[in-house]
């Protein structure tokens, strides 16, 4: 047990030591129901089917995906008697709160979570009219930036223009992280160059968002990279 961490379910189907292992991920916890914000005649506490769509609290984030994954595995087994690979599937219960303790849990139980391929379905589709296959995720770095210049408060009517303004100082500090075009300026945060093989794989990929999608800012981001890159 890890303090503050909810339970994690890990299922495992082993077919052969000679086969690769695939690890699937999902989370069972959901956000609050937001009752009263649903369409007419719908509520978060009643599961409702409308054609090929299912409505209810947590169906999109992220319980329906679990059903799809597991139904797909079962269909393969029913059809040919085996998967042809080893399968693991984990469901955690703290994703909406930042997955506290998950990294420590996996580190402490590396053999149980070991896999050759990891997959997950938990994120918005870029275009709801097309299937989306994402081969990687953007990283994230959280940090606190604090500035203590003096004790107490000082009225700007008396001290404005005489005392350095912490808000202005902090804004300039933030401006040293990313430039005006979105390029990361902190060397330790920059990613290594994209390989030629990745560039080749992405050369015909188009980044579109479908109806209602925002216009992409072509000049924003890392210089020398195309929109898909």
Whole-angstrom distance, CA of residue 105 vs CA of residue 180: 40
Q: Are residues 94 and 25 in the same domain?
A: yes
DSSP annotation of 19 reads S
Residue 114 lies in a domain: yes
- Could you tell me the two tokens for 53? 């769509």
In the chain the first and final C-alpha atoms are separated, in Å, by: 40
pLDDT at 1: 63
Q: What is the CA radius of gyration of the chain?
A: 24
- Could you tell me the two tokens for 133? 């296959």
10-30 pLDDT, tens per residue?
999 999 999 999 999 999 999
Q: Which domain holds residue 56?
A: 1-34+45-123
Residue 126 has pLDDT above 80, yes or no: no
Whole-angstrom distance, CA of residue 13 vs CA of residue 23: 10
Q: Are residues 187 and 96 in the same domain?
A: no
pLDDT at 163: 96
Whether pTM exceeds 0.85: no
Domain endpoint, select from 55, 89, 123: 123
Q: Please say whether the beta carbons of 89 and 10 come within 8 A.
A: yes
Residue 205 has pLDDT above 90, yes or no: no
Contacts of 199 (CB under 8 A, 6+ apart): 229
| Band (218; pLDDT cuts 50, 70, 90) | confident
Q: Is 161 left (phi over 0), alpha (psi -120 to 50) or beta?
A: left
Q: Is 203 left (phi over 0), alpha (psi -120 to 50) or beta?
A: alpha
Domain endpoint, select from 91, 123, 155: 123
Q: Are residues 155 and 185 in the same domain?
A: yes
52-61 pLDDT, tens per residue?
889 999 998 9
| Band (207; pLDDT cuts 50, 70, 90) | confident
Task: Look at the chain and report how many structural domains it folds into.
Answer: 2
pLDDT at 124: 75
Domain endpoint, select from 123, 157, 172: 123
Residue 148 lies in a domain: yes
- Could you tell me the two tokens for 83? 């998967």
- Could you tell me the two tokens for 189? 């945060």
Residue 138 lies in a domain: no
């Amino acid at each position: 047990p890890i303090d503050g961490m909810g339970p994690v379910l890990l299922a495992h189907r082993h077919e052969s030591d000679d086969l690769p292992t695939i690890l699937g991920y999902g989370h069972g916890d959901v956000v609050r129901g937001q009752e009263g914000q649903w369409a007419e005649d719908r509520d978060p506490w009643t599961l409702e089917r409308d054609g090929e769509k299912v409505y209810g609290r947590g169906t999109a984030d992220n319980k329906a995906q679990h059903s799809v994954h597991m139904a797909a595995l079962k269909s393969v087994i029913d059809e040919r008697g085996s998967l042809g690979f080893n399968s693991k599937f984990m469901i955690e219960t703290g994703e909406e709160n930042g997955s506290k303790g998950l990294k420590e849990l996996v580190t402490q139980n590396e053999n149980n979570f070991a896999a050759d391929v990891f997959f997950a379905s938990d994120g918005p589709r870029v275009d709801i009219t097309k299937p989306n296959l994402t081969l990687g995720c953007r990283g994230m770095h959280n940090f606190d930036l604090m500035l203590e210049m003096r004790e107490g408060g000082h009225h700007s009517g008396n001290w404005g223009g005489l005392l350095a303004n912490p808000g202005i100082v902090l804004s300039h500090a933030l401006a040293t992280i990313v430039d005006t075009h979105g390029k990361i300026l902190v060397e330790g945060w920059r990613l290594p160059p994209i390989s030629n093989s990745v560039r080749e794989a992405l050369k015909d990929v188009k980044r579109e968002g479908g109806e209602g999608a925002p216009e992409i800012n072509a000049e924003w981001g890392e210089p020398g990279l195309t929109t898909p890159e």
